[in-house]
Amino acid sequence: MLKRKDLISLDVMSKNEIDEILELSLKLKKGKAPACKLKDKTLGLLFEKPSNRTKVSFWAGMIQLGGHCIYLSPAEIQLGKREAVKDAAKVLSRYLDVIAARTYSHETLLELAKYSSVPVINALTDLLHPCQALADVFTIFEQKKKFKGVKLVYVGDGNNVLHSLLYAASKVGLDIAYATPKGYEPDKGVVQKALAISKKMGSVVKGYTNPKEAVVDADFIYTDVWASMHQENELAQRKKIFKPYQINSALLKAAKKDTMVLHCLPAKRGLEITDEVMDGKQSLVYDEAENRLHVEKAILYLLIKANKK
């Protein structure tokens, strides 16, 4: 049973909680969860950064469950500038039933959750993107019907998406490898936690610098942008460093014949992934994006249920 106030990071969640989210997501996707209703509940969407998938999937999902949404754009929210994060958290908790927040700093999200009396969902911070990673492992399970012995390989920047994938994969017992350039590895603390979790699950976490080595026997290859939303000014320099990390036909050939490709999107076509791969038969990127909706509906329902007053 999901028993927590907030969904901030997957490393602190139990395997049972994650399984419950994935199982309900599947029922919702199949249209077989008629009891999931959030009538008269309101979700606040607090976004310091732009979003397409996260904003729209949470919004549409809440409407589909019978609830309502209020969106506060980056220009409006100004957490810590227009008012203290703690004041915003305390006030918004009086109006809303649940908050999904996308912040620059992870600390801002932690503070928001600390002072909010309603559940807070991490809709991406510079450190983590848990809702994305849950949808990703859901997409993998949809294809393989299992996690054990399945290998996911992330190629690119050691960023928020990789951090949450490390947690999600190790929690469900999916093998995960990553190939990142020197100096762009994932956070050491995150890797250590993922390693400890994967040991208990009997799965593998392994880091590489050479993408061709990492993708050997990959069932799934995953990438993300080379410069995240807070790093756009580094793009010119990053383009040079990350060039060998592009997901293209040559890299796909170094994996298996039926290796599938994932990308959290938005993609910079022609940089981290070629058009050929993104539009090719092995690409699952739009299924993956759709699954954000089903998984977030499950998260909303279970969190609101767990925090019923």
Q: What residues are annotated to the active site? A: 102, 129, 132, 224, 264, 292
Q: Choose the binding region for ligand NVA from 9-17, 143-151, 224-232, 276-284 (rule: CB under 6 A).
A: 224-232
For residue 48 the two structure tokens come to 């310091």
Residue 139 binding ligand CP, by CB under 6 A:
no
**Pattern 124-163, ligand NVA, x by CB under 6 A:** x----------------------------------xxx--
Nearer of residues 120 and 197 to ligand CP, judged by Cβ: 120
The least CB distance from residue 229 to ligand NVA, in Å, is: 4
Question: What does the buried/exposed string (b/e) look like for 123-138 if buried means 16 or more CB atoms within 10 Å of the residue's CB?
Answer: bbbbbbbbbbbbbbbb
The least CB distance from residue 84 to ligand CP, in Å, is: 26
Binding ligand CP (rule: CB under 6 A), the pick from 266, 269, 287, 306 is 266
* Binding-site partner at residue 224 among ligand CP, ligand NVA, none, CB < 5 to 8 Å by type: ligand NVA
Which amino acid, one-letter code, is at 57?
A: S
* Binding-site partner at residue 192 among ligand NVA, ligand CP, none, CB < 5 to 8 Å by type: none
Query: Considering only CA atoms, which of 221, 228, 175 is closest in space to residue 49?
Result: 228
- Residue pair 174/142 in contact (Cβ under 8 Å)? The answer is no
Output the DSSP codes for 228-281: -TT-GGGHHHHHHHHGGG-B-HHHHHTS-TT-EEEE-S---BTTTB-HHHHTST
- Strand intervals (E) in 38-96: 42-47, 68-72
The least CB distance from residue 271 to ligand CP, in Å, is: 16
* Binding-site partner at residue 52 among ligand CP, ligand NVA, none, CB < 5 to 8 Å by type: ligand CP
Residue ranges in 226-265 that form contacts with ligand CP under rule CB under 6 A? 264-265
Rg of the chain, C-alpha, whole Å: 19
The least CB distance from residue 190 to ligand NVA, in Å, is: 14
Residue 54 binding ligand CP, by CB under 6 A:
yes
Position with the least CB separation from ligand NVA? 228
The least CB distance from residue 290 to ligand CP, in Å, is: 12
Residue ranges in 243-302 that form contacts with ligand NVA under rule CB under 6 A? 264
- Residue pair 122/129 in contact (Cβ under 8 Å)? The answer is yes
Binding ligand NVA (rule: CB under 6 A), the pick from 9, 203, 228, 246 is 228
Backbone angles phi, psi at 256, to 5 degrees: -105, 170
H/E stretch holding 102 reads: strand 98-102
The least CB distance from residue 178 to ligand CP, in Å, is: 18
* Binding-site partner at residue 160 among ligand CP, ligand NVA, none, CB < 5 to 8 Å by type: ligand NVA
Residue 125 binding ligand CP, by CB under 6 A:
no
241, with CB counted inside 10 A (0-12, 13-18, 19+), is middle
Residue 225 binding ligand NVA, by CB under 6 A:
yes
What's the rounded Cα separation, in Å, for the pair 75 and 72? 8
- Residue pair 258/26 in contact (Cβ under 8 Å)? The answer is no
Query: Considering only CA atoms, which of 191, 143, 200 is closest in space to residue 167?
Result: 191
Q: Which residues bind ligand NVA (CB under 6 A)?
A: 124, 159-161, 224-225, 228-229, 264
Q: Which residues bind ligand CP (CB under 6 A)?
A: 51-55, 124, 132, 264-266
